[in-house]
Structure 1
């Protein structure tokens, strides 16, 4: 009977079709940086372009997923899915939001737009002047941690949905696994120096590398060496926005293809990667420093008492800097003969009398 009415045409496993993708976007909402960028690219215009990019990602596959995290000046919060709301746009506090019932918008697109704008509006309204004045950077490390936790949870849920037997993080992140959820992180960064978050950012970078999750970076303003290293380590894409008017074009052309599509494309790569590190004592980016042989902590200068500030190990410096690396060769002395010619003196050669 199934063959007659065509029912078996609709019966199929999720894994038989194209592999769905999870796009997790980290939006840097640093008020100081957006105030400087407001003339070229206002935050409202950037959000409108970002929503177009999200809709394009969801339109590729009906099983594609998206999540948005805000990296604010004093905390990292979820913008979508909005805390306290279900996946269908229903507010747990009281009924369905009015924007979801708009007949002129596709329901999933309207749902994401409503929750993202509502969460972003609440975040801005709850930010006090003291929060803005206390720091001029952003909580990028906390946002990356939330992103990796959500990716791990979504990957395990998808593996159980398709009937997978192995649900460990190592198996789901292995390069041989082609049936799992293809996850990636896109960071829209506007902040500059993140030296004080060097250790947690590197920890999240190594965790993403182990999970086979690429970290793509789109730099709208400023520059930081640690995001370059995160993108290079996880084999992501790093681009610096040269023209703010082309923000949507950068998103659609460079960051829309997922991992499967990138195998058939020539993705933009970094020509030069800055691999400098930040010292553990002053959180400054250094070219040359002192490294503890036990815990590998980096210091820009010798700690007080030559004791490691991390593991309290006594550091033995030896004869560092006491001898030059290259010793100049001694020049041979020359003596003048009667004829006035200069000849080098050799052992055993008689010198004529004057």
Structure 2
């Protein structure tokens, strides 16, 4: 056709930004939320998160979202619900909305005042969160005061990896070696561009040093896949989450007033990786790069490092001087036994050239001001 009418026709390519996958890790530790009940209760945080999720989904028709609860004894999916545990949207008592009121006896299918994708996300999150809190027993709360953030990060990274493969599948049937083609696509960062992913952690727990190893492994995996980890620290302070945000190029925000949660979410965390290239994002300022020891799981300033596996220990009193990680023998006697003190020698008197004697100053320079002579 170009040769007939003399015009140039080109296929118009889509200039829209790529779809964005937002994975939210919500800290549901009851111990930490009990301290925030006066300023920001859990139901207010859920309400703000639902508005934020709706804004993310409204930014693009192909945008996706995943919500994972980091609880005291396990990490559970809030959305999307696994097929075996998918709750029914229509109940005899009616669906429960944000304020705890009935939304209708027929469920979200017959509600004309709510956009269906928003209603599905809201219903699944509320139902699964209610089920998670109902299954939590006193033994779960008394066993540990912290949250399983490492398991939630592993679930988020696995879901992102699976969604990336589904968004841009490879034609492995035409390849000579399908497994090698899949491995090459995973190592190259330019093979799978159509889906941009990021992780948002809403944390309220303070000490996460007991999960130093799994969290650091997740940080390294996200850094390799170029997945930014954003941190919204509502309470407490932890070293690991600062390092996660700094290592992956994410955003770290610790609001002074947690009751303004929705404003922080919309202003700081709504832009995806594509939009952040044109914006100046907030930074955490100084980052604490201290590590946690592998023996007692506590943050240390000075420690002992294994020369084989680089494990960190806070004290040299290891059983049989063996590394707890790799089992290598560590020579820590020099660290335990102090070095012998140096004995200062007395300085001899120096003779003057004229034949007289003159005592030397403590610094080794004669009183006359000349250069000291050494016998």
Instruction: Give the TM-score band, short-chain normalised.
Output: 0.7 to 0.9
Instruction: Please report how far the alpha carbon of residue 246 of structure 1 lies from its aligned counterpart in structure 2 after TM superposition.
Output: 1.3
2: CA distance, partners of 1:83 / 1:291: 42
Instruction: Please report how far the alpha carbon of residue 270 of structure 1 lies from its aligned counterpart in structure 2 after TM superposition.
Output: 2.0
Mark the CA change 1:170 to 1:22 in structure 2 (over 3 Å): closer, same or farther: farther
Mark the CA change 1:347 to 1:106 in structure 2 (over 3 Å): closer, same or farther: closer
Aligned length: 333
Q: Which residue of 1 aligns with 2:320?
A: 305
Given the alignment of the two structures, is residue 216 of structure 1 paired with residue 223 of structure 2, yes or no?
Answer: no
Q: Which residue of 2 aligns with 1:6?
A: none
Aligned match of 1:109 in 114, 118, 134? 118
RMSD of aligned Cα (Å): 3.5
- Superposed CA deviations along residues 185-240 of structure 1, whole A, max 9, x for unmatched, are 00000001111100000001101111111100000001110011111111111111
TM-score (norm 2): 0.79
Q: Which residue of 2 aligns with 1:126?
A: 135
TM-score (norm 1): 0.83
Q: Which residue of 2 aligns with 1:33?
A: 32
Secondary structure, aligned partner of 2:200:
strand
2: CA distance, partners of 1:47 / 1:289: 41
Secondary structure, aligned partner of 1:263:
helix
1: CA distance, partners of 2:85 / 2:294: 42
Instruction: Please report how far the alpha carbon of residue 132 of structure 1 lies from its aligned counterpart in structure 2 after TM superposition.
Output: 1.2
Cα pair 1:85 1:91 within 8 Å, conserved: no
Consecutive unaligned residues in structure 1, runs of 5 or more: 1-10, 350-354
Mark the CA change 1:224 to 1:331 in structure 2 (over 3 Å): closer, same or farther: farther
Q: Which residue of 1 aligns with 2:208?
A: 194
Secondary structure, aligned partner of 2:199:
strand
The 5 A counterparts of 1:240-319 are 240-302=254-316, 303-317=318-332, 319=334
Cα pair 1:189 1:219 within 8 Å, conserved: yes
Q: Which residue of 2 aligns with 1:238?
A: 252
Secondary structure, aligned partner of 1:61:
coil
1: CA distance, partners of 2:340 / 2:111: 76
Instruction: Please report how far the alpha carbon of residue 274 of structure 1 lies from its aligned counterpart in structure 2 after TM superposition.
Output: 0.7
1: CA distance, partners of 2:219 / 2:374: 69
Mark the CA change 1:307 to 1:36 in structure 2 (over 3 Å): closer, same or farther: same
Mark the CA change 1:131 to 1:58 in structure 2 (over 3 Å): closer, same or farther: same
1: CA distance, partners of 2:77 / 2:374: 88
Mark the CA change 1:169 to 1:192 in structure 2 (over 3 Å): closer, same or farther: farther
Mark the CA change 1:124 to 1:90 in structure 2 (over 3 Å): closer, same or farther: closer
Cα pair 1:334 1:344 within 8 Å, conserved: no
